[in-house]
Amino acid sequence: MPTENERKYVLSDPAAVRALWAPEDWSEIRQGYLPGDARIRRQTRDGVASDSFTYKIAAAGRLIEIETAMTEPRDFDDLWPLTNRRIHKRRRTELDRHGLQWDIDLLLGPTGACYFAVAECEMPEAMDAPPDVLPALAPHIAYAVPRERQGEFVNSRLADPGYAASLTF
């Protein structure tokens, strides 16, 4: 099972970050959290939706992430009303020159305005930090989240715009 190992970076100027890539390069995500530690996600790009179910659990000093595709759209539709926290965001995924995956998320409020922007770098289990920041994002890094504060910047908590606004860094 894969160990989740990522570093997070709070971004400034979401409009400038969004302008780094063409509008069609961004996908739309609707994500909801089920009771317990599971989430469902519908990611739409170019009019095509794909759904997934994810469960994360801490075990033996690591965070294990189990993710599977949901092939029946009705499964997502049936589970969505059971979610107790929801997030709507735009996402751009990039690979850096080291082959590391960067997910750039612009979290959107009810009116569609961005209330928080964050990037995550997915890394192999033994890596502590990426060798360098994705060059396009470097001028927009407002805060490199230290390991001991990663839990404050998880999407399940950032789903609350008031909570996101209260973060200090």
Per the prediction, the chain carries an average pLDDT of 95
Q: What is the mean pLDDT of residues 10-38?
A: 95
Q: Which of 100, 104, 146, 150 is nearest to 126 (CA)?
A: 100
All residues at 6 or more sequence positions from 1 whose CB lies less than 8 Å from its CB, including other chains:
64, 65, 66
Residue-wise pLDDT for 32-77, tens only, equals 999 988 999 999 999 999 999 999 988 998 989 999 999 999 999 9
Which residues on neighbouring strands pair with residue 62, listed in sequence order? 59
**What does the DSSP 8-state code read for residue 3?**
B
Neighbour count for residue 9 (Cβ, 10 Å): 23
Report pLDDT for 61: 87
Report pLDDT for 10: 98
pLDDT bucket at 102, cuts 50 / 70 / 90: very high
Report pLDDT for 128: 94
Q: Is residue 107 a contact partner of residue 115, using CB atoms and an 8 Å limit? A: yes
Residue-wise pLDDT for 106-128, tens only, equals 999 999 999 999 999 999 999 99
Is pLDDT of 1 > 60?
no
Q: What is the mean pLDDT of residues 3-14?
A: 95
- Residue linked to tokens 């961005």: 114
Report pLDDT for 122: 95
Measured CA to CA, the distance from residue 123 to residue 137 in angstroms comes to 17
